[in-house]
């Protein structure tokens, strides 16, 4: 694939918090969105037409965004959600003198930027 799968977004493109004020997701870099769609079309592993890109800094933020988008706007009760428990690879960091302090697990989603495509049409 080589050059066809190469995506480069320069750091200077992210100077402002407002990358596209016309878009509901105003902080989503247009070039990043175009690259995600292009990559999925190239690989052929996702339908991108009539779908939205949901971005976040972790899985909790992404799940909340999708659930909010799929929730009926005038529901009288909370929406029920059923899902399998997520799997996270774990990293540990050590604090304290000499490396003998407590160990705190960190999930990879708290460190890496996560994206995925979701169909944000309301459920019928």
| pLDDT single digits (tens) 93-103 | 444 444 444 44
Query: What is the C-alpha to C-alpha distance for residues 4 and 36, in angstroms, rounded to an integer?
Result: 13
Locate 49 and state its tokens.
């037409």
Query: What is the C-alpha to C-alpha distance for residues 98 and 104, in angstroms, rounded to an integer?
Result: 16
| pLDDT single digits (tens) 40-80 | 899 998 888 888 787 777 778 888 887 877 788 888 887 77
User: In angstroms, what is the C-alpha Rg of the chain?
Assistant: 19
The percentage of residues in the chain with a pLDDT greater than 70, rounded to a whole number, is 52
Instruction: Tell me what the mean pLDDT of segment 16-39 comes to.
Output: 78
pLDDT for 17 equals 66
- pTM > 0.75: yes or no: no
DSSP state of 70: H
E strands along 22-108, which residues? 52-56, 90-94, 103-107
Listed by start position, the domains of the chain span 15-71+86-118
Q: Cα 35–37–40 angle (5° rounding)? A: 105
């Amino acid at each position: 694939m080589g050059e066809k799968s190469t995506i480069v977004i320069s750091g200077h493109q992210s100077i402002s918090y407002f990358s596209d004020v016309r878009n509901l997701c105003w902080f989503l870099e247009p070039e990043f969105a175009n690259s995600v769609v292009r990559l999925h079309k190239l690989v052929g592993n996702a339908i991108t037409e009539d779908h939205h890109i949901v971005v976040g800094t972790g899985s909790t933020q992404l799940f909340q965004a999708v659930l909010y988008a799929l929730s009926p706007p005038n529901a009288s009760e909370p929406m029920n959600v059923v899902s399998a428990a997520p799997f996270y690879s774990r990293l540990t960091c050590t604090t304290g003198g000499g490396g003998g302090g407590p160990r705190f697990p960190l999930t990879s989603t708290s460190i890496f930027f996560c994206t995925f495509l979701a169909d944000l049409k309301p459920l019928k």
